[in-house]
Chains A and B, each alone.
Chain A
């Protein structure tokens, strides 16, 4: 999906957020808008303006490092507490909490509620958990937007969490069946006869796969095919990955990653910054072997996003409420769109489809956008999307458009790094994209920002905002 953000303007007649779910397979693009200088107004009459008051995230860490012994709701708790600390929002004001997660910890299936309780939110505040692969927190945010727009709530906290250091590994189906039947066995004889049926293959565990259910293809394999389809070379991918790491390092050193809040991990030191940023050299990256399509593929560990632990949270309000409480919102959430396409060959092409749609909906063009933040699942996927957006052939044959929308200029594109370098805790990435856009718009003095991400199942999205 793509989100469109606009910067907060003075006058109060800005357009309303709107959203539409196109099918079950979605990419999201959102539009964020910031501050005035406003050439256009995106306010829609009769719909409330919805603003992002603030957003934070705990540092994103490579899985297996400092967060390794925690549980997902611990990370979510840290992000929620960070948000409370930074905004000092009174707990009882929060009407609702929505959280995204992808790989579910079975003990905390409604991780939103467990985390909220542990973070000191009121036990009167309801919470639910959503899932939509890599755009789960985008889904959490747009769910919140919908609730505010519908007049259900005024203040919603949305976020996402992912802990890749620990994933549920199950017993085999046969073993589970035996164990469940065992519960019902009454006599010792029955129990023994059940146990005697257990065979060595019952002990083989079932691992969660990062593969599409419908096609059984792993994401990395799909990305490699996508890169090949658009003739993206290994060299281009490595160069792009290096750019991401270099820019991230610069942003980190320059103190631009304002959404990061420190996290004191129990039994360990306070974590203050992301630990996956590692600008390397083209030579070193060139030495790596392909990770998925062996031996001749182009996607490697170095040009893919890595397994990451992390959590993020944003505070959403209706504009009236925010102003009434004395907040100066960071951005307007202007518009968004979800799209979906073929999960096999176009799994990661969501941003290409969603971007022109959200722009048209908001009445903007590519030239109006000052900041682009796209989720970087793989360098090859980003470059394929850029090529697709720049191709008339693709626009005409697959998107039903007369001409291409055009690729975003790189000087406005992911200029503070991206998922390749900062990390990609699946469900936590969406909030990071939105906050980076908001902060970047403010720093650059821009007005409109566009956020896009793709997700398993073939989903992207966009945000417009301040």
Chain B
């Protein structure tokens, strides 16, 4: 039930696979003596509005034909598109609806269609290979029997919650009956991917089919054929009653079911789940609560009430601004998973990473497990050992979670070479340096590397603030130099910010984006400048955090205020995570570049913290005290003295909780808008994606630009003016925001 995390973390991972169609074109493929096969053909994208009607009538026709034909005793639903059973509903269709009633109508049509299958007198078997998401899963659980291939690409999930929706075609009603209440909540509230073998254990599928190797056909083709053969066997068995669709439930499940039948126990479960959701979402996401409410309606008030609640709530959720924001993020991700620079001339097969620190080792880890030959180079054995251990640990944790076998881990690790010298660099197609953030060191390694790498090799710099053009200044071939700004921890943060200078060639950019995408990253490409995009937006916000601290708000309170706004990590904790020394460094650099606008809190406060060794999490002390194994960290009392020393008088007119939130957020948003105005950003989409996936901007707001759209540019400018009156030019709205404020019809996202 880690919803916030789920939204930020999982949205990327599986929604990308979410192909946009509802029920794809169906037709009877083969008339069988005992079983009819319904093939789910490749998705087509029919014109919106007619989709539901057209397809449901087509589907109904087929079902009618199956029922009417005496020769047909049962049916198999199988997709003829490899890799996808049904990946979900057509989002365009939902987005095109103007009112919640229209969406509710769509939901009701889906419900009816699936009910028809459920009530079919002839058994229907779903044969699942590939993604079975959202509406696809709802269709599968309406069938009488489910058989899935045990492949990595076969995943079942209800990702609706991540789009601020709920399963709207009977899913909220069927899932609790099928897998039990607690598991159903888990599936629907997290939206997480469930692999086939896990699905079998949960009772979500009835049989598994192992993927096959080569025979006299390709493995993929034969596996689908085999799935079909097995499914037909079971369909026949169900029709002549040699196979029973009833699952034998385990003792645990029987006990759970028994307990859940008691209304009092059920109420307790609702309450617990609801409290958890409220705690984690801070009430910012309406979908999870609606899911609970809908499930409750079905279980407590019966079938009709449940289905009615489902369609009504689905309709209501679809028009919320949270859902629109999440949908926007989903679309943005799809956009940022494409390489707009095209295919690079030379594919990167060998990658060298300089510096085996947290970042370097993280980059190596996400590279080796995608099959890139990776050289990890450091200058000291100790550092190298630590880095190699980090990669091992990262992969081994997957073995512990059983998403990887120990053999796969070992064979992945064979792609990694740890070394202290430049041996093998003559074969590198790309070098990513992740050495200490000091321009002189960066220059030194650039020169060393250029002496040993081949002509086509790209040199990428992983830096969070040093301008790339400055690094490239000493390069013999600046067209091959680019910035690749990864976020820590690299294996978990999905964003990669790529920075091009005026001299960076298109092919170099194409190469960097290709590597980023291969590493599984969501990639935004921005122009060079101090702090690029992400660090630059964070700068003014952190300066404001320091001012708020100086005004006497304690770190715990700041964290509470910022997480209440929707940030996954509190603002004070964020500084500890980033590292106070790094923050100081960046703040100074950016302060020099942008002057007064980046002022606010006193940088001396940071400097004193560094002096005292309060560097943040890595040092065990920052605003908080960090101890291994201790979850509830306490405030660092050593900070009291420092905070007292830099104390400023609070201004009561701008110090309510809401004002503090707005002071932080408006500075962030204003700077983001300025990046777009200056051309650092090429589109608001990338700005939103970068802010949410790199900096934890509240996903429910959809990113700074969508936030301006929904909050209103004028209202935002008014707020900025209010704070400007108190604090001065740090809050002066940029021209772009003023333009949007003056013209209410102007929106960043149409």
A-side residues, CB < 8 A to B, are 213-216, 221, 225-226, 228-231, 293, 296, 342, 344-346, 384, 387-388, 391, 393-394, 397-398
Query: Of B102-110, B209-217, B331-339, B431-439, which stretch is located at the interface?
Result: B209-217
- Nearest CB in chain B: distance from A162 CB, A: 25
The reply to whether B233 and A296 contact each other, CB–CB distance below 8 Å, is yes
The reply to whether A230 and B216 contact each other, CB–CB distance below 8 Å, is yes
**Nearest neighbor of A231 in chain B, beta-carbon distance:** B215
A-B contact pairs, 30 of them (CB 8 A): A216-B405, A216-B407, A221-B210, A225-B212, A225-B213, A226-B213, A228-B215, A228-B222, A228-B226, A229-B212, A229-B213, A229-B214, A229-B219, A230-B215, A231-B215, A231-B216, A293-B210, A296-B230, A296-B234, A342-B213, A345-B213, A345-B214, A346-B213, A387-B215, A387-B216, A388-B215, A388-B216, A393-B216, A393-B217, A394-B215
Within 179-238 of B, Cβ neighbours of A (below 8 Å) are at 207, 210, 212-219, 222, 226, 230, 233-234
**Nearest neighbor of A346 in chain B, beta-carbon distance:** B213
Which of B207, B210, B230, B407 has the most C-beta atoms of chain A within 10 angstroms of its own C-beta? B210
Within 302-335 of B, Cβ neighbours of A (below 8 Å) are at none
Which B residues are CB-close (under 8 A) to A398? 214
- Nearest CB in chain A: distance from B210 CB, A: 5
The reply to whether A228 and B407 contact each other, CB–CB distance below 8 Å, is no
The reply to whether A345 and B216 contact each other, CB–CB distance below 8 Å, is no
Query: A215 vs B407: C-alpha distance in the bound complex, in angstroms?
Result: 7
The reply to whether A391 and B407 contact each other, CB–CB distance below 8 Å, is no
- Nearest CB in chain B: distance from A234 CB, A: 11
The reply to whether A391 and B213 contact each other, CB–CB distance below 8 Å, is no
- Nearest CB in chain B: distance from A206 CB, A: 16
A215-B407, A228-B226, A229-B222 as given contacts; A346 in contact with B210, CB under 8 Å: no
| Sample of 20 more A-B contacts, CB < 8 Å, known A226-B213, A231-B215, A397-B218 | A215-B405, A215-B407, A216-B405, A225-B212, A228-B215, A228-B222, A229-B212, A229-B214, A229-B215, A229-B219, A229-B226, A230-B216, A231-B216, A296-B207, A345-B219, A346-B214, A387-B216, A394-B214, A397-B214, A398-B214
Which B residues are CB-close (under 8 A) to A346? 213-214
Which A residues are CB-close (under 8 A) to B207? 296
A228-B226, A296-B230, A345-B219 as given contacts; A214 in contact with B214, CB under 8 Å: no
Which B residues are CB-close (under 8 A) to A391? 216
Query: A201 vs B41: C-alpha distance in the bound complex, in angstroms?
Result: 51
Which A residues are CB-close (under 8 A) to B210? 221, 225, 293
Query: A221 vs B209: C-alpha distance in the bound complex, in angstroms?
Result: 12
Which A residues are CB-close (under 8 A) to B218? 397
- Nearest CB in chain B: distance from A105 CB, A: 27
**Nearest neighbor of B213 in chain A, beta-carbon distance:** A345
Which A residues are CB-close (under 8 A) to B213? 225-226, 229, 342, 344-346
Which B residues are CB-close (under 8 A) to A221? 210
Which A residues are CB-close (under 8 A) to B222? 228-229, 231
Query: A344 vs B212: C-alpha distance in the bound complex, in angstroms?
Result: 10
- Nearest CB in chain A: distance from B205 CB, A: 14
Query: A293 vs B215: C-alpha distance in the bound complex, in angstroms?
Result: 18
- Nearest CB in chain A: distance from B317 CB, A: 41
A213-B407, A229-B222 as given contacts; A394 in contact with B212, CB under 8 Å: no
Which B residues are CB-close (under 8 A) to A393? 216-217
Query: A176 vs B213: C-alpha distance in the bound complex, in angstroms?
Result: 39
The reply to whether A214 and B407 contact each other, CB–CB distance below 8 Å, is yes
**Nearest neighbor of A212 in chain B, beta-carbon distance:** B407
Query: A384 vs B210: C-alpha distance in the bound complex, in angstroms?
Result: 17
Which A residues are CB-close (under 8 A) to B226? 228-229
Query: A393 vs B216: C-alpha distance in the bound complex, in angstroms?
Result: 6
The reply to whether B233 and A345 contact each other, CB–CB distance below 8 Å, is no
**Nearest neighbor of B216 in chain A, beta-carbon distance:** A391
Query: A216 vs B219: C-alpha distance in the bound complex, in angstroms?
Result: 20
Which B residues are CB-close (under 8 A) to A214? 407
Which B residues are CB-close (under 8 A) to A397? 214, 218
Which B residues are CB-close (under 8 A) to A226? 213
**Nearest neighbor of B230 in chain A, beta-carbon distance:** A296
- Nearest CB in chain A: distance from B356 CB, A: 29
Which of A214, A296, A388, A398 has the most C-beta atoms of chain B within 10 angstroms of its own C-beta? A296
**Nearest neighbor of B405 in chain A, beta-carbon distance:** A216
Which B residues are CB-close (under 8 A) to A231? 215-216, 222
Query: A296 vs B214: C-alpha distance in the bound complex, in angstroms?
Result: 20
- Nearest CB in chain A: distance from B220 CB, A: 11
Query: A388 vs B217: C-alpha distance in the bound complex, in angstroms?
Result: 10
Query: A398 vs B214: C-alpha distance in the bound complex, in angstroms?
Result: 8
Query: A229 vs B217: C-alpha distance in the bound complex, in angstroms?
Result: 8
Query: A214 vs B405: C-alpha distance in the bound complex, in angstroms?
Result: 8
**Nearest neighbor of A384 in chain B, beta-carbon distance:** B215
- Nearest CB in chain B: distance from A315 CB, A: 40
Closest 4 CB pairs of A and B: A345-B213, A229-B215, A229-B212, A230-B215
The reply to whether A228 and B214 contact each other, CB–CB distance below 8 Å, is no
Query: A388 vs B215: C-alpha distance in the bound complex, in angstroms?
Result: 7
- Nearest CB in chain B: distance from A4 CB, A: 26
Query: A92 vs B210: C-alpha distance in the bound complex, in angstroms?
Result: 55
Query: A398 vs B219: C-alpha distance in the bound complex, in angstroms?
Result: 11
- Nearest CB in chain B: distance from A393 CB, A: 5
Which A residues are CB-close (under 8 A) to B234? 296
- Nearest CB in chain A: distance from B206 CB, A: 11
